[in-house]
Amino acid sequence: MDDLLNDFLAETAEILAEAGGALVAWEADPGDRERLDAIFRLVHTIKGSSGFLSLPRVTALAHAAEDALDQVRRGNRPADAALVTGVLGVIDRLTHLCGALGTGGGEPAGDDGEVIEALALAADEPASPEPAEIQLRREDDLAAELQAWRSIRVPLPLLDSVMTGVTDIVLARNEFARMLRESGADPRLIASFDRLSDSIAGMRQSVSQMRMQRIDKLFAPLPRIVRDLAQELGKKVKFVASGGEVELDREMMENIRDPLIHIVRNAIDHGIEPLDQRVAAGKGVIATLSVSARQSGNQIEIEVRDDGRGLSPDALVSKAVAARIVTATEARALSAKDKLELIFRPGFSTAAKITSVSGRGVGMDIVKANLEKIGGVVELRNDEGRGLTILLRVPMTLTIISGLMVRAAGQYFAIPRGAVREILLESSDSARIDCVGGGELATVRGEKFPLLRLEEILGLKPGADEDAEDRAIVIVRPGQGQSYALSVAAIHDHEELVIKPAAPLIMATGLYAGTTLPDNGRPVLLLDVQGLLAAAGIDASEAGRCHDEAEEAEAEAVAARKAAQLLLFRDTGGRVRGIRLSVIERVEEVPALALFESAGLVQAQIGDDIFPVHAGRLPEDAGMLKLLRLHDGQRVLCYPIEAVIDIVRLPDTVQPAPVPGLISGVTLVGGEPVELLDPFWLMEQYAHGEIASEARQPLCQLAGDADGWGENFLAPILRSAGYRVASADDALAGGAPDVFLTLSDEESLIADGVPVIRLRAAAAAAGPDDQSVYRYDRQALLEALRVRIGGGGS
């Protein structure tokens, strides 16, 4: 029974991790039928095995989830976020229960009613059923379940002992082979020994593969973690995983799991900014968090990259000083790199405040220690303001790699074959070695490489018996965009090598990636091709080595900077539209109450200012409203939107609209048509009635305003038309008037050289020479003002 339970727990833990990731992926694409089927099968499996072990709570939970998913499969229920959240709730509860089962051995008492109910609640709107597809899919289920039976579980220690045993056999075989050769044995004996030898080699290969797992398994729980955390923090994060096919030793995987999760959580919590800050920084609101794995020579590189705010070295330093991790004096002596690496000091936390996410007692110091334990390293690539990339490099220990054996100073070293691009003799015609200013440079067929001599880097004396003629150059490519030439005394041969981590004190030299035991039974050090570079202190970057390429890269960067960016948003009608980012001043979020209607126009009050809003009518529902603030250098216009979607590069081809209007044209973004707003047209619509800035408004001086009509009736009209008004009392307070408006016939009030408009009380003109304006003739008055001094809004 215990064995059964253990098997169940191991299997269920795996299923739950897989199901969580699959659910999140399915939520993003509910049309993915295959994924839904896969999730259904996973839950179904848990239900089946728990029933067998009589675990009623687990069975009930699994049954509820299975039921809900089946409803979706039958089309009776829509696949929505509520359902996914419900099923995730069940998965969390199951995980919790399995944990309790593992420690306590029995199912703890408790009530799962609320979890199951949450799932049922989400299903109050049944959609019309469409049962046509179901029969077919059932057969698929069966086939897939049969597949699952074709693997078995083996305890890890057993695998380890098989591995050790096989390696011992290989070593014994080698010893035996040497003795056979020396004794001059019968060729028939040697032939049959060779057959044995071949099958041993095959077996060693298979055993190593048994321990390998796709790194997919490590990535499986991440989508769920990203989703939950992003939701909790109100951030939008797109998660991308790649390189899942890279294989890694299972034991190594266990050691990387927690550090990786911690880094991912950190990136979302601290690295990725809140939405408004992202827009302010000109980034897409949806942050991208990518995790990728690749094999780089003798190492597996796992890269976690976010496009958040990156690390600020100065902020790190001040925090470290505040936390008494370094003194101010020490801090001044730190290099830029050292400053970043402060995050690896124990007791350091980059969070300004402890959130529910951070402050869990796991810091980057633990991450680093865990990785070093298995001979790995953590690297930071910081791009302040634009994102942080954390690179985990772990040796492929216990992985079999193809290695090139080279000799230096009479000692053998291994170089991972994957990092070797080319091998040639120093004396060969295609290679030329130049000494330039104390450094050496190898030119191979026109391509230049910095040259390192292995003996020099390792601090060895060149062997006396070694002939300079035999020296070989190995062109090494330690990573993307880097290469150098490594000069060695001789090339020995290729061998399949089992790599194991060297002791930490040897790994700490940074020169070695591990140890290996080739067939002669004497340990050989595997060189860290990246570490050699660091030790030699040379720049192996390929960029700029070739003139043309550098220019191209530069031109490309310039083009990228010049490219206009487009803000994609969903407007209040639910349509996806875009507008050039450069005309957006910022995105405002205001309560719907800040909008009001006046003179047939919707206006918004933001702070102390009132801006026109491009909307036909006031929003119906209260709550918060997002406004794009368009700015043309003088005026502001608000455009209400539902949500900002992204910022993309403005496509080159735009299909223009036939007539000028709100939409200037349509373009394709990611294969979807997007309408582009015409900021020119928008601004044009709201340009009239708009007030020029106060300083340039003409000043109207009222004169002869004895009864206050000018102040009370006339002045408001003039002000709204874009003039400043000074009454008779505060005459000349605002500087020299541009025009006088006089309501009486007295001449004494009027200064010389300033145009005058006389207003008369009678509707009819006094005679043909009467230049005065009837005081209630608004049109004529404004026209007269415009003729005299210009200005005015309309």
Partner 1 sequence: MMEKLYLVARIADTRVALRSRAIHSVVAVGTPVEVPAAPPHVAGLFALRSRVFTLIDPHVVVGLAPVTVIEGQRVIVVDVADHGYALLADAIEDVCFIDAPETRVAGKLLPGWARVADAMIEHEGASLLVVDPAHFITLPVASAA
Write out the residues near partner 1 by the rule CB under 8 A: 164, 167-168, 170-171, 373, 409, 411, 457-460, 500-506, 508-509, 511-512, 515-517, 521-525, 535
Least Å distance, CB 494 to partner 1, is 20
Q: Which long-range contacts (CB under 8 A, 24 or more apart) does 533-536 make?
A: 533/452, 533/478, 533/482, 533/484, 534/510, 535/457, 535/510, 535/511, 536/452, 536/457
Query: Smallest distance, Å, CB 413 to partner 1?
Result: 9
Q: Output DSSP code: residue 478.
A: -
Read off the DSSP letter of residue 385. Answer: T
- Cβ 164 to partner 1 shortest distance, Å: 6
Minimum CB distance to partner 1 smaller for 42 or for 457:
457
From the list 263, 257, 256, the residue with the least C-alpha distance to 358 is 263
Q: How far is the CB of 461 from partner 1 (least distance, A)?
A: 10
By C-beta, is 479 or 501 nearer to partner 1?
501
Question: Measured from the CB atom, is 253 or 595 closer to partner 1?
Answer: 253
Residue number with CB closer to partner 1 (334 or 517):
517
**Helices (DSSP H) in 149-234: which residue ranges?**
156-183, 187-210, 216-219, 222-233
Q: Spell out the SS3 assignment of 516-551.
A: ECCCCCCCEEEECHHHHHHHHCCCCECCCCCHHHHH
Minimal distance, residue 252 CB to partner 1, in Å: 13
Contact status, residue 388 vs residue 306, Cβ threshold 8 Å: yes
Contacts of 704 (CB under 8 A, 6+ apart): 728, 742, 743, 744, 745, 746, 749
Question: Which lies closer to partner 1 via its Cβ, residue 375 or residue 710?
Answer: 375
524 versus 529: smaller Cβ distance to partner 1:
524
Q: How far is the CB of 481 from partner 1 (least distance, A)?
A: 27
Listing DSSP states for 407-438 in one string gives EETTEEEEEEGGGEEEEEETTSTTEEEEEETT
Give the C-alpha separation, 674 to 430, whole Å.
55
Cα(397)–Cα(502) distance, rounded to whole angstroms? 10
Which residue from 71, 83, 75 is spatially nearest to 121, judged by alpha carbons?
83
Helix (H, G, I), strand (E, B) or coil at 782: helix
CA–CA distance, 449 with 453 (Å, rounded to integer): 13
Task: Indicate the residue among 509 and 720 with the shorter CB distance to partner 1.
Answer: 509
Minimum CB separation from partner 1 for residue 160, in Å? 12
Nearer to partner 1 among residue 521 and residue 708 (C-beta): 521
* Identity of the residue, 166 or 604, whose beta carbon is nearer to partner 1 in the bound complex: 166
Minimum CB separation of residue 501 from partner 1 in Å reads 7
Q: Which helix (H) or strand (E) holds 686?
A: helix 679-687
DSSP string, 29-87: -TT-HHHHHHHHHHHHHHHHHHHHTT-HHHHHHHHHHHHHHHHHHTTSS---HHHHHHH
The closest of 401, 380, 389 to 295, measured between CA atoms, is 401
Q: CA 394: distance to chain centroid?
A: 22
In the complex with partner 1, which residue's Cβ is closer, 248 or 789?
248
CB neighbour list of residue 157: distance below 8 Å, 6 or more residues apart: none
- The least CB distance from residue 177 to partner 1, in Å, is 16
State in Å, rounded, how far the first CA of the chain is from the last one. 89
Residue whose entry in the numeric block shows the structure tokens 């006094």:
766
Q: In the complex, what is the shortest distance from the CB of residue 114 to partner 1, in angstroms, rounded to a whole number?
A: 44
The pairing of beta strand 609-612 with beta strand 576-580 = unpaired
CB contact at 8 A, 663 and 678: yes
Of 36 and 170, CB closest to partner 1? 170
Q: Interior CA angle at 397 toward 394 and 399, to 5°?
A: 120
SS3 255: helix
- CA-CA distance, 269 to 287, in Å (whole number)? 12
How far apart are the C-alpha atoms of 429 and 445, rounded to whole Å? 9
C-beta of 399: minimal distance to partner 1 in Å? 16
- Look at the block and give the residue holding tokens 């705010």: 309
Q: How far is the CB of 365 from partner 1 (least distance, A)?
A: 17
In whole angstroms, give the CA distance from residue 44 to residue 11.
13
Q: Which is nearer to partner 1, 167 or 582 (CB)?
A: 167
Closer by beta carbon to partner 1, 164 or else 327 = 164
**β partners of residue 248:** 213
Nearer to partner 1, 481 or 523 (CB): 523
**Min dist. Cβ of residue 264 to partner 1 (A):** 26
Nearest approach, Cβ of residue 131 and partner 1 (Å): 57
CB of 416 to partner 1, least distance (A): 17
Kindly tell me which of 138 and 373 has the beta carbon lying closer to partner 1: 373
